[in-house]
Structure 1
């Protein structure tokens, strides 16, 4: 196995699950993503109350519904691996809840930035890890992280608002940088605290993985994608 640069690897599909450490890593990853989807649903549903128009409210509720729809296939995959989905999610509640507590939006536009930038960074982190999974699990993770085109709504709303009020751009740029710092801290905490995920990235005798320099480059790629999203919004990263 080699460092991910956009491609994927397949540790021999079902044979990989004969390694209990690999199975534990997959259960951890799916549990983290599943709870992240539930949290995203709850947050977006709350943000809908801040929507200035009915059209905006419907758009955000639609995004929330899409997030929740991702939970069922993740639960099914966990159950197929003999894991309790709720037990798999439990270790990640604290870190994810803390992230949301530290990044509660104060208004509609901060909520939009968080939905686009914050969720985008988390998804990038999980996609990086997905490159080290068996094909079936990898495909499920990638499908779960698809936004279904909802991001276009956020980009259009934020760009229009910045044109109408240039001062808003500076405030939202600072907010985006704060989200990046909090998201990176959360991702690093999750990777460090869960031994199985760390082992998945580090590899093993039959699964070469990432050394410290490669892990640094992985987080650099995530940071670069954050900058690209901020630019698409018309904001400085």
Structure 2
């Protein structure tokens, strides 16, 4: 139980938009759950849907979620009426599963939640704890948070492209200085790009939601990539 609690503590700090969590084994037995999230009677149904590979929706606590991604190691679903999202990950052995209920107000949850939840799931078995810098605890207003998110989403790719084109910061020259944890993050990001259910699924989701603001941001990012490779 100690490793589970450590993993949940890490998850809540690394991805604060997590509202509730539950951990269960492949037999459908609850090993941990948030005090305000009781899904004991629905875990077996969740596992059945997760393993079916073709289900389109699931009901948890009376809320209907549309399934966006479903692989043996990953589960992603959302409620169309803005009651939150479900993101789940299996442990490396596939013997245990961690599911999280994500706030409907979460920014970038579709691509940001799963990697963090997957790391937390791995911690359950390995017991490895990941330190998170506390940094400045000053609370940001909603407006400042929105500005911060926009800057990150729009400038992240621009910074990546600029670094890639700069010989002094090439991966070949800097490889010996790369932090192993950072390298894992980059490899995870590249896998997400290559995964048909990753970047493509992210874009399809916002097109389906007709989110004009996000589509506009994606268009600008695409233009930056196009300009980099084709001039």
TM-score (norm. length: structure 2): 0.29
Give the structure, 1 or 2, with the largest relative contact order (CA under 8 Å, sep 6 or more).
1
Q: Which has the higher strand share?
A: 2
